[in-house]
Amino acid sequence: MQYNTSSKPCNPIVSVIMPAYNSRHTIATSIQSVKEQVLTQWELLIIDDCSTEPLEDIVSAFQDERIHYIRLTHNKGVANARNVGIAKAQGHYIAFLDSDDMWYPEKLSMQFAFMQKNHYAFTYTWYRQFTGDISQLGNLVKTKQVVDYTELLKGNDIGCLTVMIDREQIQNIHMPSQRHEDYITWLNILKQGWKAYSLPKELAYYRKSDGSLTSNKWKSLIWTWKVYRESQDLSLLAASWYMTCYIVGGIKKHYF
């Protein structure tokens, strides 16, 4: 497939969904990382979740007709913002990038080629963590080669900022308004029999929050337990087993 090399509107191959809330100090670099993509046939849907600080002036300064700014009148959370973007997306593929994260320039082009070559419906990639600015690089998060529903229950191997989904194969993508909404979404997709395949390349930057690390980990454990018991309706025994796998896998993922 030939790539469009201009910034003029075109039929997008990929719709990029970017929820945003009070991200004035980071959103420009996130948008710029989309602008710098080798694959240029994209649209960027920025869903402003009723921010209390202005964002539209930053978005409009890019003067790119592939970028669409949508401001919501009520703050309903990141899942709702992503769902609004999904509903308005025109691309064959859908990808996600938060307004404080970034992509390598080759991210979309390499992932698109990977999916086309192998006829995959759901793919994801490796990513690099960072704190503060991009000079403060942290761990490289590598992934398993492929995951199905059972394997994903052992822990979320899929970074939301790395996902690309073929909307013609996987339809009715919807994120629930629950904690770990992205994890639940991937589980619900794979539960239908799909598999997610990893492109083993470092293609994204994930910004770690400045919040309490210990507090965040405890919250994540509680949210994950609710995913197992409430969202996926696992038995107490099964949920306990997968929680053990989740904890062990998390230690290996982030510290080894």
Which residues, in sequence order, are bridge partners of residue 128?
A: 140, 205
167 φ, ψ (degrees, to nearest 5): -75, -20
Distance CA 185, CA 234 (A): 16
Q: Tell me, what's the pLDDT at 138?
A: 82
Q: Tell me, what's the pLDDT at 250?
A: 76
Q: Tell me, what's the pLDDT at 136?
A: 76
| Cβ atoms of residues 13 and 164 within 8 Å | no
Torsion-angle region of 83 (φ positive above 0: left; ψ -120 to 50: alpha; else: beta): alpha
Max alpha carbon distance in the chain (Å)?
55
The predicted-structure confidence for 12-32, as pLDDT tens digits, reads as follows 999 999 999 999 999 999 999
Q: Tell me, what's the pLDDT at 1?
A: 38
What count of other Cβ atoms lies within 10 Å of the Cβ of residue 78?
18
Residues 6+ apart with CB under 8 A from 40: 3, 4, 5, 6, 7
Q: Tell me, what's the pLDDT at 256?
A: 58
Q: Tell me, what's the pLDDT at 3?
A: 36
Query: Which value, to the nearest 10 degrees, does the dihedral of the CA atoms of residues 225, 226, 231, 233 take?
Result: 60
Query: Where does residue 238 rank: exposed (0-12), middle (13-18), buried (19+ CB within 10 A)?
Result: middle
Q: Tell me, what's the pLDDT at 4?
A: 42
Distance CA 71, CA 140 (A): 34
Residues 6+ apart with CB under 8 A from 166: 92, 93, 115, 120, 121, 122
Distance CA 77, CA 21 (A): 9
Query: Where does residue 97 rank: exposed (0-12), middle (13-18), buried (19+ CB within 10 A)?
Result: buried
Q: Tell me, what's the pLDDT at 171?
A: 93
Q: Tell me, what's the pLDDT at 254?
A: 60
What stretches in the chain show pLDDT beneath 70?
1-10, 210-215, 252-256
Q: Tell me, what's the pLDDT at 133?
A: 76
C-alpha angle 151/155/160, rounded to 5°?
105
